[in-house]
Amino acid sequence: MDILAFGVQADEKPLIERAFAGHHDVRCLDVFLTEDTAPIAAGYEVISTSVNAILDARVLQSLAVGGTQMIAQRSTGFNNIDLDVAERLGLTIARVSYYSPYSVAEFAWTLAMAVNRRIVRACNRTRDFDFRLDGLLGRDLRGRTVGVLGTGKIGVAFARIAHGFGMELLGWDVAPNPACAELGMTYVDKDELLARADVISLHVPLLPATHHLIGRAELAAMKDDAILVNSSRGGLIDTDALVGELRKGRFAGVGLDVYEAEAGLFFLDKSLEAVEDDTLARLVTFPNVVVTSHQAYYTEDAVGQIVAATLENVAAYIEGRHTPNVLVSAVPPPPQGAP
């Protein structure tokens, strides 16, 4: 089968081509799926998309008219897909429900350490042969308190690293994770976690209930010298409210691998264009803020697992099999208990 893959990064392309070789012919494009690029998919029954694809009603309708029947998204999150419209159009949508949680957890700690120890500022200085230590004072993490919002696979991996640092662990989730409890994590309500934690890291999915989980009131409740890290989804934080707090001189550091208006920006080279997003432009000027471009998942291990799962999702579609990765399908699932 011929498959069209949108939004393929240069490092990702050989992994996809090697995995699909001998199974399907895959055409990799570096452009992202939008309303403007959707017509490229005409004639392809199966396409694959990246996390920043725009799969709203207009795009899905364009794909369906062009003959697309199955979309294999190469990510865990699917808040970019209008699943109700996809179901009405008879499309099959699958995602990657699992990949290395360590990739994101380790990167979240990379962001936390970078802002805590002023790594970016230090590197910029040494390039100019400025070896002063003024303004580079950080803090030991041992003995301090970390708050983990969302204690699933990534959250527990993050907590294990914190446990290795010798930190007190606070957790917040709809249900406690026994693996976190074994580490000594205490589950508390969100307000208590925000008030007590020195480091706060977000590891929850973006849903209507979690949109702006960290808003104006939550930011105000945090310690003035707290470190806030988000490697999950940009919409979890009210960015305008965050900028307002940063302008007051609050927070020891903020590490963001995601941004709520990142679509159309992240994964692209905008260095020669005027910056139209005033909020993002202001955000990156703060010396205690590090922003990266949604790269937490981007390791050989995780991307390899994502590609393998995508290949399996395509195989399941062709064979008419239902898997836990299927979000919507034109084919009804087998009766419960059926083989």
> Quick check: is 262 catalytic?
yes
24 is catalytic: no
- Decide if 211 is catalytic: no
Alpha carbon of 193 to those of 15, 85, 185, 187, 200: distances in Å?
40, 38, 12, 9, 8
The residue among 7, 97, 47, 4 whose CA lies nearest residue 294 is 7
Rounded Cα gap, residues 324 and 293, in angstroms: 29
Helix axis angle, 300-319 relative to 13-20, nearest 10°? Answer: 40
Dmax (CA) for the chain in angstroms is: 69
The one catalytic residue in 218, 233, 245, 260 is 233
The closest alpha carbon to 173, from 140, 197, 138, 149, belongs to 149
> What gap in Å lies between CA 324 and CA 71, rounded to an integer?
15
Report residue 4 CA to chain centroid gap. 23
Instruction: Tell me which residues are annotated as active site.
Output: 233, 262, 294
